Structure 1
Amino acid sequence: MKRTIKITLWILLCIILFAGATTGIFFYKIKNGFPVSYETEKPAINFPPDQSAVLIFSKTTGFRHAESIEASLPVFSQIARKNNWFIYQTEEGGIFNPEQLKRFKVVIFNNSTGRVLNDEQQKVLSQYVESGGTLLGIHGAGDDSHHWPWYQTHLLGTKFSHHPLNPQFQKADVHVEVDSDSSLTRKLPAVWTNQDEWYVFLSQPKGMQILSYINGDKIIPNGNLLWIRDKDFGMGQYHPVAWYRNVGKGKTFYTSMGHGKEVWQNENFVQMIENAMIWSE
């Protein structure tokens, strides 16, 4: 009997330790991404001479929004056909070389998380933007796993804190700022509804022009979980969810919306993304 009890206790201890280690690894991956090797080989690309080129980059080393990424790709292809753009979709970082990157009118970090580029590739991307290119970031591209000061300053202008957990997904009215660039507000209603995982940032985006916002007082922003007890706060009534700015001769655009596959069926969200792609020209 005593032996049975002892064996049972050991099994329970092992389960607890395993669960703790798994949880710890999960949270580390979310915050930092896992170390990876960086692709450096230039891909073979035939750029059509009569079409603007769009780069969709969906590489992840942190949390992977797999359903959103998968759902987005046919939507991007549809937008490209509609506007006669050449679209190149990849998760290989070798595309971030000066010769090829300058061929693209816009680079989209499509829920890219973690450290996805090496130091040289980061330098190439920052120079691309400052020389006249455009960088767009969607949802996970704004979490706290990238650890790249230029990126945080020029794409985000703030620092990610958390997202709600109970409930994780909530409906909210998305308000469009009336003084935003008209090319970004094209065909968008003044107010539209979206259900999403609403990111909470530690401050208002600095140096950014806000495109859209929600009333943060109308969502439950609590992100406390297990031992995490300091995430029961939001951004207040004015809670930005999409913004943009000029960077040197180029531009950046970011939206914290885009967690799940459903958002790619929301015609207003898709219109906003298409507007941002057109705005990059």
Structure 2
Amino acid sequence: MKKFLKIAIWSVLGVVVVLCGLMAGFIYKIKNGFPVSYETEAPNINIPSDKTTVLLFSKATGFRHGESIEAGKKVFAGLAIKNNWFVYDTEEGGVFNPDQLAQFDAVIFNNSTGRVLNDEQQQHLEDYVTNGGSLIGIHGAGDNSHHWDWYTDNLMGATFSHHSLDPHLQETKVILEAGADSLLAAGLATEFTHTDEWYVFFDNPRKKGFNILYRIDGESISPSGNMLWMTDKDFGMGKDHPVAWHKQIGDGRTFYTSMGHDATAWQQSAFVKMLENAVGR
């Protein structure tokens, strides 16, 4: 009997250790991304000069929003046909070199998470934006797994804290900002109902000079991100909770939306139209 109890106890402890290890690995992946590998070979692309050109980058080394990424690829392929765009869809970082980046009108981080570019490639993207390019980030592109100060300061303007967990996905009204940029706001719904995983940032990007396009009433959702031993995430951004914003950076511009967690977002015409405007403005 004693032998059986010892075996049972050690078995339970073993399971606990394994589960703790898996949980630790999962949390590390979300915060940092792994494995880290960088593609450096420039791809062969015939980039037309007479179309709006879009680099759709979906590499994820952190949490992978697989369904949303694939849905986004299909939607942008459709927008390319509709608007006569050229869209280069890739998860390889070799395209982030000065010569090829300069041929794109917009670069989209399609739920791209984790460290996805090496130091040199990051610098090339920074230079691309400063010199007149456009960087667009969708949902996971704004989490805290990138560890890239320029990116955080110039795309989000705020540091990610957590997302809603209780409940996870929540429905609320998304409201167009009064006086929003006319090019970005053209044809957009002034208000629509949307369900998403709502991101909470430590600061409001308004404070860093970002222009808000869409917001929600932060008091209309439960923003708590508490789980297990994490008990300090029971806060939100308050009533003024931006969910899409933009800013002029040097001669270029950035645009970010925290919406887009799963594939259903891409069935939302207002969400798609917002991204279409962000590319075409």
d(CA) in 2 for partners of 1:214, 1:144: 21
Match of 1:220 in 2: 222
Report the residue type matching 1:266 in the other structure.
Q
Alignment partner of 1:42: what SS?
A: coil
Is 1:229–2:228 an aligned residue pair?
no
d(CA) in 2 for partners of 1:83, 1:40: 31
Stretches of structure 1 that go unaligned for 5 or more consecutive residues are none
Report the residue type matching 1:126 in the other structure.
E
Match of 1:261 in 2: 263
d(CA) in 1 for partners of 2:212, 2:111: 20
Match of 2:212 in 1: 210
Match of 1:66 in 2: 66
d(CA) in 2 for partners of 1:55, 1:16: 44
What is the correspondence of 1:14-53 to structure 2 with a 5 Å cutoff? 14-53=14-53
Alignment partner of 2:54: what SS?
A: strand
Is 1:161–2:165 an aligned residue pair?
no
Match of 2:118 in 1: 118
Match of 1:245 in 2: 247
d(CA) in 1 for partners of 2:49, 2:152: 34
d(CA) in 1 for partners of 2:148, 2:35: 15
Report the residue type matching 2:278 in the other structure.
A
Alignment partner of 2:4: what SS?
A: helix
Report the residue type matching 1:54 in the other structure.
V
1:247: how far off?
0.3
Report the residue type matching 2:194 in the other structure.
N
> C-alpha deviations, 1:231-276, integer Å up to 9, x for none?
0000000000000000000000000000000000000000001010
Alignment partner of 2:88: what SS?
A: strand
Report the residue type matching 1:248 in the other structure.
G
TM-score by length of 2: 0.98
Stretches of structure 2 that go unaligned for 5 or more consecutive residues are none
d(CA) in 1 for partners of 2:209, 2:58: 26
1:52: how far off?
2.0
Report the residue type matching 2:237 in the other structure.
M
Match of 1:11 in 2: 11
Report the residue type matching 1:201 in the other structure.
F
Report the residue type matching 2:199 in the other structure.
Y
Match of 2:195 in 1: 195
Alignment partner of 1:104: what SS?
A: coil
> C-alpha deviations, 1:193-218, integer Å up to 9, x for none?
11000000001012200111000001
Alignment partner of 1:114: what SS?
A: coil
1:35: how far off?
4.1
d(CA) in 2 for partners of 1:50, 1:127: 23
d(CA) in 1 for partners of 2:104, 2:7: 62
Alignment partner of 2:105: what SS?
A: strand
What is the correspondence of 1:133-144 to structure 2 with a 5 Å cutoff? 133-144=133-144
The sequence identity of aligned pairs, in percent, is 58
Note the aligned Cα RMSD (angstroms).
Answer: 0.7
1:48: how far off?
2.5
d(CA) in 2 for partners of 1:48, 1:231: 47
d(CA) in 1 for partners of 2:87, 2:140: 21
Q: Give 4+ residue runs of structure 1 displaced > 3 Å after superposition.
A: none
d(CA) in 2 for partners of 1:173, 1:134: 28
d(CA) in 2 for partners of 1:266, 1:160: 24
1:137: how far off?
0.2
1:178: how far off?
2.0
> C-alpha deviations, 1:72-115, integer Å up to 9, x for none?
11100111111101110000000000000110000000000001
d(CA) in 1 for partners of 2:184, 2:178: 11
Match of 1:96 in 2: 96
